[in-house]
Amino acid sequence: MPVSGPLWDEEGVLYADLDLEDITRAKIDFDVVGQYARPDVFQLRVNREPQPPVAFNPGKKFP
């Protein structure tokens, strides 16, 4: 959500009143670890084997 502005084709100062409680509310809504902290929902698997940089699929034709 824009706080103010923009100023086009002129110089000026933009002022905005900020509600600092919005920061607290946003942190409650934004779950940084979220589902990724649940091993029953998310797994990270890493294939350490060397892979070719490009894989061609000769049977598939693209428009």
Top-confidence range, 35-39, 52-56, 59-63: 52-56
Tokens of 20: 């600092």
- Over the stretch 17-51, which tens digit does the pLDDT of each residue have? 888 888 888 877 776 666 666 777 777 889 999 98
Q: Are 39 and 46 in contact (CB under 8 A)?
A: no
Report the alpha-carbon distance of residue 51 to residue 27 in Å, rounded: 39
**Helices marked H in 2-60 — which ranges?**
21-29
For the chain, helix, strand, coil in percent to 5 are 20, 0, 80
Element (H, E) at 6: none
